[in-house]
Amino acid sequence: GFGTAAAHYGLTTQHRKVIFVVTPVRLRAREVEESRVRIVNLSANKFFGFESADVLGYKVMISDREKTAIDCIDRPALTGGVGEAATILATASRRFDWTKAADYLEKIGSGALARRFGWLADYIKADVPPAVRDRVLTLAARSRKTWLGPGPARARGAGCYRL
């Protein structure tokens, strides 16, 4: 998941020495040859959106393109930061199922995540269908305020997403 899945889909150019494995089971981190394997436990409402993929001859379950972009926006520290999450969304948006992404955001049910997703989609000038943008704005309205990165000392909202 996260940066590892983004690299699999070609959504990032960053070389990863950390492999992120998403599982509901609590496991400890491991090292495999020169790579660290970091275990990420997601809550049950975020553990979906996987598909089967061939990775180096092994059949593995990996998050789909839409869930990968959403996960990277949700936890940018696991992708290389907010800037890298924006790059991943921009690259993914060229072959993106916006309706599926809105369905995923509704399933997760986080207004803060919907705000970040919507703001970044506007920032990268993604071609989001108006009906999907309305769905994201409706979800975003559930949250009072959120930060895209670390919270500033003094808060001011920016635009319709109030980030």
Neighbours of 76 (CB within 10 A): 22
What pLDDT score was predicted for residue 152?
A: 61
Measuring CA to CA, how many Å separate 53 from each of 16, 23, 27, 62?
19, 16, 23, 7
What pLDDT score was predicted for residue 149?
A: 66
What pLDDT score was predicted for residue 113?
A: 95
Low-confidence ranges of the chain (pLDDT < 50): none
β-sheet bridge partners, residue 59: 54
* pTM for the model: 0.86
